[in-house]
Amino acid sequence: GQGGALRLLIRYPKVLALCATWVFTSIIMIVLAVFLPMRLDELDIGNTVLVALYGTVLASCTASVIGLGYAGLARRLGYPVLVRAATGSWALAFLVFALAQDPFTLLLVPVLVGIGNGLAMSTMTVLIDDAVPDDQRGTATSLQSSAMFGGQFASPLVFGPVIDATSVTVGASICAVLAGCLCLAFFRLKDAPDPAADPVPGSAPDPAAGHGPAGHGPAGHGPAGQDAGAGPGAPGSRA
């Protein structure tokens, strides 16, 4: 229920911070989706196919390609590096969005956004899941979804008046600064230890390690493992 979700946010501040990140992420992504066509119109690009290419197609294709290689990237780089790369890509995308004066340079915007989205979607989900016990992951995931859609709802209310009062360039510049601050904040995030590096609590010791009463040294060195021909009085012991 709502009380359980609130207690979860209070008990696990990391989940609260990550949900707040989802709110912010959704806000700036909606800014891009809503106001990029206005930027294209300023550059005399009004063809609906080209607008769709800039607005969704390139970003979605790039995110899909990143998703195909995500497992390898996560193994090699770790989740903190990936989330920094995601937020850094968003910051760079909005900087280009604010400054680009030609349609070719503006093509970098959906590509950079796609890179950020492809890295962030999986990484943020993993970080939230790892921040809570197994029996509370469902609640944490639902909070993540609520934060994401809440940000989409709030975005026009927050940035709409700002951009109307100033310009698309100013709005994009604000988003670039905020995304850059978010990237810097994630440098405080430490990588979680690899579970495979530590033995599982309560697991049995490895017999090959030679520990335990029956495992000292190689076979044949205990009382039951002496060589039958080595004892006194054994057949063939006299010259």
Give 143-156 pLDDT, tens digit per residue.
Answer: 888 888 888 888 88
Average pLDDT rounded to a whole number, residues 218-227 = 44
The pLDDT assigned to 95 comes to 95
* Residue range 85-141, pLDDT digits in tens: 999 999 999 999 999 888 889 999 999 999 999 999 889 888 888 888 888 888 888
Statement: residue 208 has pLDDT above 60: no
* Residue range 14-35, pLDDT digits in tens: 888 888 888 888 888 888 888 8
The pLDDT assigned to 236 comes to 45
Domain-located, residue 230: no
The pLDDT assigned to 134 comes to 86
Q: List Cα–Cα distances, 162 to 31, 60, 92, 171, 209, in angstroms.
A: 11, 27, 21, 7, 67
Average pLDDT of every residue of the chain = 79
Higher pLDDT, 206 or 110: 110
Statement: residue 224 has pLDDT above 80: no
Domain-located, residue 155: yes
Domain-located, residue 194: no
Q: Which residue, 102, 93, 104, is CA-closest to 33?
A: 93
What would the two tokens of residue 135 be? Answer: 């029996």
Q: List Cα–Cα distances, 48 to 43, 73, 99, in angstroms.
A: 14, 35, 23
Statement: residue 201 has pLDDT above 80: no
Domain-located, residue 236: no
The pLDDT assigned to 231 comes to 44
Looking from the CA of 180 toward its CB, the CA atoms found within 13 Å total 11
State the pTM of this model. 0.73
The pLDDT assigned to 1 comes to 52
The pLDDT assigned to 191 comes to 58
Domain-located, residue 67: yes
Q: Which domain holds residue 26?
A: 2-188
The pLDDT assigned to 193 comes to 42
Average pLDDT rounded to a whole number, residues 67-79 = 93
Domain-located, residue 237: no
Structural domain total, the chain = 1
The pLDDT assigned to 90 comes to 93
Residue 3 confidence class, pLDDT cut points 50, 70, 90: low
CATH number of the domain to which 90 belongs: 1.20.1250.20
The pLDDT assigned to 144 comes to 87
What would the two tokens of residue 146 be? Answer: 């609520």
Domain-located, residue 197: no
Looking from the CA of 88 toward its CB, the CA atoms found within 13 Å total 9
Statement: residue 54 has pLDDT above 80: yes
CA distance 39 to 204: 64
Contacts of 183 by beta carbon, 8 Å cutoff, 6+ apart: 84, 87, 88, 90, 91
Domain-located, residue 203: no
